[in-house]
Amino acid sequence: MNYDHLLALATPRGVFEHCTGQSPLPEHGYCVDDVARALIVIARDPLAPPEVDPLADICLDFLDEAQQADGSIINRQSFDGVWSGEADLRDHWGRALWAWGTVIGRSSNLDRIERSVGAFGLSGARRSPYLRSMAHAALGAAEYLRLFPTNTAALELLADARDMMVGSQDASIPWPESRLTYANAVIPQVVIAAGLHLDESDTLDQGLEMLDWLTRLQTPDGHLSPIGNAGWAPGDPLPAFDQQPLEVAHLVDACLTAFEATSDTRWLDIGRRGAMWFYGVNDVGVWMHDPRTGAGFDGLTAKGYNPNCGAESTLAYLSAVGQLSNSLDSMSVH
């Protein structure tokens, strides 16, 4: 795990969102989306180097400032610390809950756990009308349940998210939407997690069916070919571009959740394809990260990679490779 580029994006205030090449663009400021992702990556890495550890507290401070008294969250802050936009319950709300839940479920730092429990309790009492916002929040609930498996608030949030995702709007695909859009693998991952934590075998089976369909759709020739940024519906051509590292990271996470639920190593094999996408096993055959710095490239086009290395893509790379490595290391120990 090479954190050099992530540390180059970090300041005592947060994590810069955008770059030109690998040069941060301070004028674009910070956002909860990326700060939450950074906290998740750090909390999930048991071997994070000492120089990375202080960034976890910076991220927690940022999320604390973003959280409002009613549990809603403001997403954006300028370079000089001015918050902008309305507090609401969109994706950044869900990602903040995912981050707090991950600290609770994975961190060994008691102060960070205590802070995250309080923050999760406030925002986790709210419900978003947006499917992916609820999906990200539910991932946080599932992480929370690793440490507190009977926590009522986390179980209720996970159940409410499940209710938005089971069933299908289109009989031709096992999916709760008529069109795939973004962060698609979070949907089956939440359904699988709900089946596990709520002890619902039918829900678990439905989540596994959804993930199986999604992985087959995105591995037509053996290697991973994720849905492009324009989305996909039945009849649309594949492969499609631009392909986003975020899609790959979410697919790896979902496959590892499926492996945790089933012990079926097929899911690890698909997770490996996700990690190898960053190493050139993709539709264009180009590496999607810089091994010298740990920077992730912003997207895969039909002609090659986008050389900009923003926080989202860098964290997607670190997440996918780190999570797969952690799972394989755990298997070798046991």
pLDDT tens digit string along 107-129? 999 999 999 999 999 999 999 99
For residue 215, pLDDT beyond 70: yes
List, in sequence order, the alpha helices (H) in the chain: 4-9, 32-44, 53-66, 91-106, 110-123, 131-147, 152-165, 186-197, 201-217, 245-262, 266-277, 311-333
| CA–CA distance, 35 with 5 (Å, rounded to integer) | 14
Confidence of residue 331 (pLDDT cuts 50, 70, 90): low
For residue 171, pLDDT beyond 90: no
Confidence of residue 168 (pLDDT cuts 50, 70, 90): confident
pLDDT at 172: 81
Structure tokens at 115: 């802070």
For residue 334, pLDDT beyond 70: no
pLDDT tens digit string along 23-45? 999 999 999 999 999 999 999 99
Domains and CATH numbers, the chain: 1-7+31-165 (no CATH), 187-334 (1.50.10.20)
- For the chain, the average pLDDT equals 96
User: In the chain, what's the furthest Cα-to-Cα distance?
Assistant: 51
pLDDT tens digit string along 124-161? 999 999 999 999 999 999 999 999 999 999 999 999 99
For residue 73, pLDDT beyond 80: yes
Structure tokens at 232: 């996909």
| % of the chain surpassing 90 pLDDT | 94
Closest by Cα among 85, 102, 182 to 140: 102
* CA 150 vs CA 112, 122, 141, 155, 224: distances in Å: 21, 18, 11, 7, 37
In angstroms, the first-to-last Cα distance of the chain is 22
- 198, 159 in Cβ contact below 8 A? yes
Phi, psi of 183 (to 5 degrees): 45, 45
Phi, psi of 137 (to 5 degrees): -60, -40
pTM here is 0.97
pLDDT at 332: 63
3-state class of 175 per DSSP? coil
For residue 210, pLDDT beyond 70: yes
Q: Which residue has the higher pLDDT, 171 or 208?
A: 208
